Amino acid sequence: MNPLRRVRRYSLMFFALLNVYSLALFAEPNENPFPEFKLSLVVTDLNNPWAFVFLEQDKLLITEKSGRLLLVQHGHIQSWILGIPEVLNQGQGGLMDVALHPDYQNNGWIYLSYAYEDDEGNATRVIRGHLDNYTFIDQQIIFTASPLKQTPVHYGARLAFLPDNSLLITVGDGFDYREEAQRLTSQLGKIIRVNDDGSLPSDNPFASHKEYDPYIYSYGHRNPQGLIYDHVNNRIIAHEHGPTGGDEINVIEAGENYGWPVITKGTDYSGALISPYKTYPGMRLPNFDWTPSVAPSSMIQYKGAMFNELKGDLLISTLKSHDIKWLQMKDNQFIQQHSILGHLNHRIRDIDEDGDGAIYVLTDGENASLIKLTAKDVIVETSQITTE
């Protein structure tokens, strides 16, 4: 039987949730070796922010789902950026990721992802432009996911550049369209690769297959919102939201199938079995998974010198478990997981580091904040955050 048909059949079979959650790949240790740090507030009163990026030290851009792009400098909101296109601020949609071209200092290109809508439906869209006197100008559409969908959820929308300056874009499955993740004629449930101007890279895995979409880089994804290039091991790493459980980290390789919805450790929110399969021929298993779900929202590979113990490791923000996951790596393998910032009890939307190696985390929702983590012996001039 076609595995997608069998998935649909099992999705209609409801069952009582007993003790079906699997353990994470590595248990949390009793002692957390994360180095000592102190917290400070950088900026407060943010309204449903989604992502941020440093233009230079102490100068950054923050996106808000409503469509506002904020310029923040020295801990103060300097201005809203004018000229941002209208976004679909509904459900999980809105203005989402922001990224700089690797040669930004020379070409000034800034990339934005957002939920686009027209009379036919909505989609993940990516544009680029320049910042001039607090206005976003010279706008170019880089990518619009196809086909359009009706659900305002599962956009993906994370951006990451590769060393050749090509751009990876995550596109979610649209929730009600999960079978599209397995169809190579659809861009839903995929990681897409384009050149920095939106054109097609000639070495994409399906560029020479007339029957497939040539922009697809990998497929079988649900809602990937973490995406980096691992410069230490020269590989792409992504994480994605599962349903009830089955959040995944995957090492991404060109043309590979990552299984959704045919293989998953998660169950549907209703309690229905999504698929009878945990493995399937030709489909990649995750390198790491969380069951129950932690809802991973973003990720960096730490490169700085302020926290030497973290160098080369992954830091992953989470929404559901309200913490940062520190995933240690050794010899190209994930070896141990630890958690920090759980005592703040905040959903965490995004994470990054500045040029000094200080770590910044962006909380989620209304009245959100940007928080800075520094080593204990570093002088912090911004106002202190209360953690009691």
Domain ranges of the chain: 3-12+26-375
Q: How confident is the model at residue 1 (pLDDT cuts 50, 70, 90)?
A: low
What's the confidence (pLDDT) of residue 270?
87
Count the neighbouring beta carbons within 10 Å of the beta carbon of residue 143: 23
What's the confidence (pLDDT) of residue 129?
98
What's the confidence (pLDDT) of residue 104?
98
What's the confidence (pLDDT) of residue 354?
97
**DSSP per position, 206-247:** TTT-TTS-TTEEEE--SEEEEEEEETTTTEEEEEEE-SBS-E
143 contacts 169 by C-beta, under 8 angstroms: yes
What's the confidence (pLDDT) of residue 377?
75
**Which of 269, 293, 265, 268 is CA-nearest to residue 277?**
265
What's the confidence (pLDDT) of residue 19?
24
Rounded Cα–Cα distance for residues 220 and 65 (Å):
26
Q: How confident is the model at residue 272 (pLDDT cuts 50, 70, 90)?
A: confident
pLDDT at 123 over 80: yes
What's the confidence (pLDDT) of residue 54?
98
Peptide bond into 296 cis (omega under 30): no
Residue 209 among the catalytic residues: no
- Tens-digit pLDDT profile for residues 165-219: 999 999 999 999 999 999 999 999 999 999 999 999 999 999 999 999 999 999 9
pTM, to two decimals: 0.91
Rounded Cα–Cα distance for residues 335 and 311 (Å):
14
The two tokens of residue 134 are 């607090």
- Tens-digit pLDDT profile for residues 287-336: 999 999 999 999 999 999 999 999 999 999 999 999 999 999 988 889 99
- Helix (H) / strand (E) element for 141: namely strand 135-144
Q: Is 356 left (phi over 0), alpha (psi -120 to 50) or beta?
A: alpha
**Which of 62, 56, 58, 79 is CA-nearest to residue 368?**
62
Which residue in 74, 101, 154, 322 is the catalytic one?
Answer: 154
Count the neighbouring beta carbons within 10 Å of the beta carbon of residue 290: 29
**Average pLDDT score over residue span 57-67:** 97
Query: What are the angstrom distances between the C-alpha of 42 and each of 156, 270, 309, 377?
Result: 27, 40, 24, 18
- Tens-digit pLDDT profile for residues 233-244: 999 999 999 999
**Average pLDDT score over residue span 84-110:** 98
What's the confidence (pLDDT) of residue 25?
28
What's the confidence (pLDDT) of residue 379?
59
- Tens-digit pLDDT profile for residues 307-316: 999 999 999 9
Q: How confident is the model at residue 32 (pLDDT cuts 50, 70, 90)?
A: confident
Count the neighbouring beta carbons within 10 Å of the beta carbon of residue 312: 14
**Average pLDDT of the chain, as a whole number:** 90
Architecture of the domain defined by 3-12+26-375: 6 Propeller (2.120)
pLDDT at 286 over 90: yes
Q: Is 329 left (phi over 0), alpha (psi -120 to 50) or beta?
A: beta
For residue 98, the one-letter residue type is V
- Tens-digit pLDDT profile for residues 339-370: 999 999 999 999 999 999 999 999 999 999 99
Please give the share of the chain, as a percent, with pLDDT higher than 70. Answer: 89
Beta bridge partners of 190: 171, 219
Query: What are the angstrom distances between the C-alpha of 14 and each of 4, 17, 258?
Result: 18, 9, 25
181 contacts 260 by C-beta, under 8 angstroms: yes
